[in-house]
Amino acid sequence: MHIDIISVLPELLTSPFEHSIMKRARDKGLLQVAVHPLRKWAVNEYGQIDDYQYGGGAGMVMMCEPLAAAITELSANRKFDAIIYVTPDGKTLNQRMANTLSLKENLLIICGHYKGIDERIRQKYVTIEISIGDYVLSGGELAAAVLVDSIGRLLPGVLSDETSALTDSFQDNLLAPPVYTRPVDFEGMLVPDVLMSGNHAKIEEWRYEQALQRTKERRPDLMID
Ligand code: ADE
């Protein structure tokens, strides 16, 4: 999979993909992430990419021309399956969306800043608008990093144990069951006997029950659809 990201703060997007699972995905050639500084397509020599908003009010708006030029140039190199704008007024990201996006080959993500991007760019180019939750970040970069991580870990071959993404929380609309490691006795708190029984059918049954109970208690909304 190839993901292009357009950003006014590309520095914010280096570290998230240089460690752990994202690094492995890139090292294995399963995921390429290219971050493009929007100022490359600025409208003047001062690097301008934003301007005052029509109608007045505080906050700048990211201009049409630099974004349109960036999208057009990047689209000439590859055919995007989706052009994503990360924004608090988008559709809230969930595991199902991450699963769907992980099946695509080429994605373009636009990070907003200030008051956001000019509405006409959204109308003309953007195909999906995604929020990572009901709160406002200072810019779209952290949201883009979350989105790429949630997609990248699902690409076949990225996780060493292929089944481990399948047992993540949300994959079957259930939260994950509790997990334990050594020691068996931590300050009097014991690991449940069943996990040390060696009976895999019983262990699976216990995990399912625990997942069900945890979901009912913490996120009953997940069990409705
Ligand atoms: N940009 C600012 N806040 C955001 C959010 N919650 N989700 C996606 N993009 C954002």
Calculate how far, in angstroms, residue 140's C-alpha sits from the geometric centre of ligand 1: 5
Q: What one-letter code names the amino acid at 55?
A: G
Task: Verify cis geometry, omega within 30 degrees of 0, for the bond prior to 183.
Answer: yes
Tell me which residues have their CB closer than 6 angstroms to ligand 1.
86-88, 112, 131-133, 135-137, 140, 143
- The predicted model scores a pTM of 0.95
Q: Is 107 left (phi over 0), alpha (psi -120 to 50) or beta?
A: beta
* Residue ID of nearest Cα to ligand 1 atom 10: 87
| List of the chain residues with pLDDT < 50 | none
Which residues make Cβ contacts (< 8 Å) with residue 2, sequence separation at least 6? 31, 32, 34, 78, 105, 106, 107
Q: What is the dihedral of CA 178, 182, 184, 190, to 10 degrees?
A: -30
Cα–Cα distance, 206 to 199 (Å, whole number):
11
Calculate how far, in angstroms, residue 61's C-alpha sits from the geometric centre of ligand 1: 15
Identify the pLDDT of residue 170. 84
CA 76 from centroid of its chain's CA atoms: 25
Calculate how far, in angstroms, residue 139's C-alpha sits from the geometric centre of ligand 1: 7
Number of Cβ within 10 Å of residue 178's Cβ equals: 13
Identify the pLDDT of residue 162. 58
Q: Give the phi and the psi of residue 74 in degrees, each rounded to 5.
A: -70, -35
Q: What one-letter code names the amino acid at 127?
A: T
Distances (CA, A) of 11 to 15, 36, 57: 8, 10, 29
Distances (CA, A) of 91 to 94, 119, 128, 213: 9, 16, 8, 28
Calculate how far, in angstroms, residue 90's C-alpha sits from the geometric centre of ligand 1: 8
Q: Determine the atom of ligand 1 nearest the C-alpha atom of 133.
A: 6
CB of 15 closer than 8 Å to CB of 35 = no
Could you give the 3-state DSSP secondary structure of residue 220?
helix
Could you give the 3-state DSSP secondary structure of residue 39?
helix
* Residue ID of nearest Cα to ligand 1 atom 9: 87
Ligand 1 probe mutation, 89, 114, 134, 137, most atoms within 8 A of CB? 137
Q: Determine the atom of ligand 1 nearest the C-alpha atom of 136.
A: 3
Calculate how far, in angstroms, residue 143's C-alpha sits from the geometric centre of ligand 1: 6
Calculate how far, in angstroms, residue 25's C-alpha sits from the geometric centre of ligand 1: 25
Tokens of 134: 């009901």
β-strands 60-62, 189-190: how paired? Answer: unpaired
Identify the pLDDT of residue 225. 59
Identify the pLDDT of residue 166. 77
Q: What is the pLDDT of residues 142-186, one digit of tens each?
A: 999 999 999 999 999 999 875 678 778 887 899 999 999 999 999
Q: Determine the atom of ligand 1 nearest the C-alpha atom of 87.
A: 9
Alpha helices for 93-199 (secondary structure H): 95-101, 119-124, 141-152
* Residue ID of nearest Cα to ligand 1 atom 2: 137
